[in-house]
Amino acid sequence: MLNKRTNIMFDENVWNTLALYAKKKKTTVGVLVRDAVEKTYSVSDKQKRMMRAHRNIVKLRTVGKSLDYKALIEEGRKW
């Protein structure tokens, strides 16, 4: 259900392009814009799971003061 409103200003060329495309698709410019926003900015279930997994991994990581950073740097330079 649509319950929020916004106002978007387009220049004449963009508006004409959207209007022609909407006419071809037999829909409205509003539907085109909503579909484009959904496609561009929505987060899929897979992406949500990946972000949750990343947060959990970061929580589990511990950095102790006993790490030998110089040895880590030297090891990294081998690659």
* Tally of CB atoms within 10 A around 37: 11
- 26: region left, alpha or beta (phi > 0 left; psi from -120 to 50 alpha): left
> pLDDT at position 43, please?
81
* Mean pLDDT (whole number) for 20-45: 93
pLDDT tens digits, residue range 7-28?
999 999 999 999 999 999 999 9
> pLDDT at position 65, please?
65
The whole-angstrom separation of Cα 50 and Cα 43 is: 11
The whole-angstrom separation of Cα 32 and Cα 25 is: 9
> pLDDT at position 64, please?
60
pLDDT tens digits, residue range 42-74?
888 888 888 888 888 888 776 666 777 888 788
Q: What element of type H or E holds 69?
A: helix 69-77
The whole-angstrom separation of Cα 7 and Cα 30 is: 11
